[in-house]
Amino acid sequence: MCGIVGYVGKRPAVEILLAGLKRLEYRGYDSAGVAFFREEKIEIHKSEGKLENVEKLLNGRAPAYQDVCCGIGHTRWATHGKPTTQNAHPHRTGHVVLVHNGIIENYQEIKREIISKGYRPESETDSELFGFLVLEQMDRGASLMEAVRQSFARLQGACSVVIMSEREPNVVIGVRNGSPLVAAADPAGGTILASDAQPLLQFTRDVVFLEHGDIVLGTEKGLRFFELETGKPVARASSRLDWSVEKLDKQGFPHYMLKEIYEQPTALMDTLNGFLDRARTDSFPLAASQPGVALLEKAREITLVACGSSWHAASLGKYWLEKWARVPVTVELASEYRYRDPVLGANALLIGISQSGETADTLAVIREARKQGIPTIGITNVRGSTLSREADATFFTFAGPEIGVAATKTFLAQMLGLLIFSGFLSLKRDGWHAGSLVSLDSVSRLFEDMIRIPHLLSDFLGNGSSATGLAGVIRKIAAELASAKGFFFIGRGYSFPVALEGALKLKEIAYVHAEGYAAGELKHGPIAMIDREMVVVVLAPRDQWRDKTVSNLQEVKARGAIILGIGNASDEELIGLCDHWIELPSVKVDESLVPFFLTPVIQLLSYELALLHGTDVDKPRNLAKSVTVE
């Protein structure tokens, strides 16, 4: 999705804009640009492709920009119009220059109007049109602030805008009307704005998440907030973030994705600490500070709604909630669910899961549920995200910032959150559960195992450097499978959603065709595709489904597939069927926890295959980290 940065203050603005845009690269983009004041005029430098192209345009001139102290920058992910330099932001209309994130739904109508008034848009974007509205208002005598307010009233759709005018040098105005915008005062004097908090962290951890319908005025003196609708000043409190800027760097790993895979034990530990009241080890209550506890306790049926990897986490959640809490659960793709006419019973609870908290489809479902009076909970990794503001209550995962576009540690943290819910609801024995519950002892053991998981996973992952460690083994296997025609990931039970996630990871970062399948379903069609060039990755840990999975494996073995097995040591029968073999750790934990070991295996496999295919692992083509359009 598009990324916005704006700065006005005492520091060199060009450096700040470029560094800020780099922090936003993970959101996905296909063109970029910056605009800044030199004396009283605004210069624009923009290009299709990567940010480096803009840096090249500026290169060699950097010292000449040292005195620039006000500007805006943008990374664009094309929606209206191709990813060309002309369509790249910032856009100029006369003395007005702006960047925009989101969609102007009534842009056709606005375009007709401004053309009829003699204006000539130069790009194919909806964004540029807003500039003409502002220009027209200012030419009638309005201040920039007033012109932005009046022009915004004309727009339909969710977006945020950051804007400057040569008539008001060294002023940056930002509006949030749906799409997120975050602002902070620069302690050295000034204001910084961005689409998310990451570009701000180099200056401060105290940031303000603008509310929907806020307008912020940034000057060298700092920032002031107003209501977009009325123009009245409004007070906005800042939130203190616990994300340090060091946490955002790669710390020696070649890619963020790899770093984030290795951060999973910490992400799990922090999420356990965040969800549970760790002072109590006898009954494993949810932390009292978590505001959704009462909503969870009251639920008699649960609908989990999400997209992509979050939907895979939800699918695992269904298995766990049904097993441990005996609560009826449905799992829904947000993009489908929002356009259905679903039936929910009294005492239903809707849980929206989204690492970014900004996924448009998931948010639409939450809004609709709230309209209908259905209680909603959000699970997200991002404080201040729209999901956390709009759901009735939010549980935050504590995975820390995830920069790689592929969800890794946030996925594991979501899984853990849902497993904690399952154990917690199992302990609430108030007589309504659908069928008999597992014993209290086994729930206690489940929690004890959960608490051990970060350490066990850390041991399993090792430090990634040894040739005989997990990463080394996977690297060697990947090299042998790199030219395969395609991949099937198969599993049953808890391994099925992990198989789906394995196929998604491989597609998104290695651009290799892959499908995730329930092992029992292969013979209903896809088995026709199996031949000697097709790899079947079978997830077959020793659990209640293992024997059935091994039978399904025989079916593909007989048809010549190349088989990569992931299972437990001493499973000689399974090992005998496999051409390649990855061993899960020999640890005694409840089988509900096995997906926490299987998942890093499929993540590392996709990572290694992506390296061999030479793709842009952290920023795969065509993808965005937070998908704020439907």
Which of these is catalytic: 46, 259, 318, 625?
625
Could you confirm whether 2 is annotated as catalytic?
yes
Contact segment (CB under 6 A) with ligand M6R among 348-356, 390-398, 574-582, 594-602 equals 348-356
Residue 207 zone, left/alpha/beta (φ > 0; ψ -120 to 50; rest): beta
Task: For residue 198, state whether it binds ligand M6R (rule: CB under 6 A).
Answer: no
Q: 79 or 150, CB closer to ligand M6R? A: 79
DSSP string, 418-466: HHHHHHHHHH--SS-SSSPPPPHHHHHHHHHHHHHHHHHHHHHHTTS--
Is 263 an interacting residue with respect to ligand M6R (CB under 6 A)? Answer: no
User: Which lies closer to ligand M6R via its Cβ, residue 290 or residue 309?
Assistant: 309
**Alpha-carbon torsion angle 375, 311, 313, 327, nearest 10:** 40
Q: By rule CB under 6 A, what count of residues binds ligand M6R?
A: 17
Is 625 noted as a catalytic residue in this protein? yes
Give whichever of 586 and 622 is closer to ligand M6R, judged by the CB atom.
622
Q: Single out the catalytic residue among 2, 70, 159, 307.
A: 2
Backbone angles phi, psi at 286, to 5 degrees: -70, 150
Judged by CB under 6 A, the residue of 87, 219, 354, 628 near ligand M6R is 354
Strands (E), 432-540: 486-491, 514-518, 534-539
Q: In what order do the strands lie in the sheet with 206-209?
A: 41-48, 31-38, 70-76, 3-9, 190-194, 182-185, 206-209, 239-240
Provide the 10 A C-beta neighbour count for residue 31: 26
394 scored as a contact of ligand M6R (CB under 6 A): no
Q: Is 355 in the site for ligand M6R (CB under 6 A)?
A: yes
Distance of alpha carbon 437 from alpha carbon 325, whole angstroms: 7
- The CA–CA distances, whole Å, from 239 to 78, 318, 383 equal 31, 34, 9
599 binds ligand M6R (CB under 6 A): no
Sole binder of ligand M6R in the list 271, 359, 426, 606 (CB under 6 A): 359
Which residue, 325 or 379, is less far from ligand M6R as judged by CB?
379
The separation between CA 615 and the C-alpha centre of its own chain, rounded to angstroms, equals 20
> Within a 10 A sphere around the Cβ of 474, how many other Cβ atoms?
23
Given candidates 362, 386, 592, 606, which one binds ligand M6R under the rule CB under 6 A? 362
CB 31, CB 44: distance < 8 Å: no
Spell out, one character per residue from 554 to 593, where the chain touches ligand M6R: x when CB under 6 A holds, - when not.
----------------------------------------
628 binds ligand M6R (CB under 6 A): no
Between 14 and 387, CB nearer to ligand M6R: 387
Query: Distance between CA atoms of 569 and 581, rounded to whole angstroms?
Result: 10
Pairing type for strands 206-209 and 393-396 reads unpaired
Strand 329-333 to 301-306 pairing: parallel
106 Cα distance to chain centroid: 28
CA dihedral (563, 568, 574, 576) in degrees, to 10, reads 80
Task: State the nearest-atom distance from the C-beta of 419 to ligand M6R, in Å.
Answer: 17
**What are the E-state strand segments in 10-95?**
31-38, 41-48, 70-76, 91-93
**What is each CA distance from 593 to 254, 272, 290, in whole angstroms?**
29, 14, 23
Least spacing, CB of residue 627 vs ligand M6R, in Å: 5
| Closer residue to ligand M6R (CB): 264 or 549 | 264
Contact predicate 235/225, CB 8 Å: yes
Q: Identify the residue among 129, 155, 407, 473 touching ligand M6R (CB under 6 A).
A: 407
Q: Which is nearer to ligand M6R, 438 or 623 (CB)?
A: 623
The reply to whether 271 sits near ligand M6R by the rule CB under 6 A is no
Q: Which of 123, 356, 426, 606 binds ligand M6R (CB under 6 A)?
A: 356
Do residues 333 and 303 touch, judged by C-beta distance below 8 A?
A: no
In the complex with ligand M6R, the residue whose CB is nearer, 167 or 507, is 507
Segment interacting with ligand M6R, rule: CB under 6 A, options 211-219, 289-297, 400-408, 458-466: 400-408
Measured at CB, which residue is nearest to ligand M6R?
308
Minimum CB distance to ligand M6R, residue 257 (Å): 9
Interaction mask 489-528, ligand M6R, x per CB under 6 A: ---------------x---x--------------------
- Under rule CB under 6 A, residue 416 binds ligand M6R: no
Q: What tokens appear for 21 in the block?
A: 């845009």
Of 406, 474, 478, 512, the residue at the interface with ligand M6R (CB under 6 A) is 406
Secondary structure string (H, E, C) spanning 359-374: CHHHHHHHHHHHHCCC
By CB under 6 A, which span of 124-132, 472-480, 586-594, 621-629 interacts with ligand M6R?
Answer: 621-629
Which residue, 275 or 411, is less far from ligand M6R as judged by CB?
Answer: 411
Least distance from ligand M6R to the Cβ atom of residue 494, Å: 19
**Which parts of 297-336 interact with ligand M6R (CB under 6 A)?**
307-310
For the chain, how big is the Rg over CA atoms in Å?
26
Q: How far is the CB of 369 from ligand M6R (least distance, A)?
A: 16
Q: In terms of C-beta density within 10 A (0-12 exposed, 13-18 middle, 19 or more buried), how is residue 554 classed?
A: exposed
Bridge partners of 536, per DSSP, are 488, 563
| Residue 626 binds to ligand M6R (criterion: CB under 6 A) | yes
Task: Give me the residues that bind ligand M6R (CB under 6 A), please.
Answer: 307-310, 354-356, 359, 362, 405-407, 504, 508, 623, 626-627
Instruction: Give catalytic residue positions.
Output: 2, 625
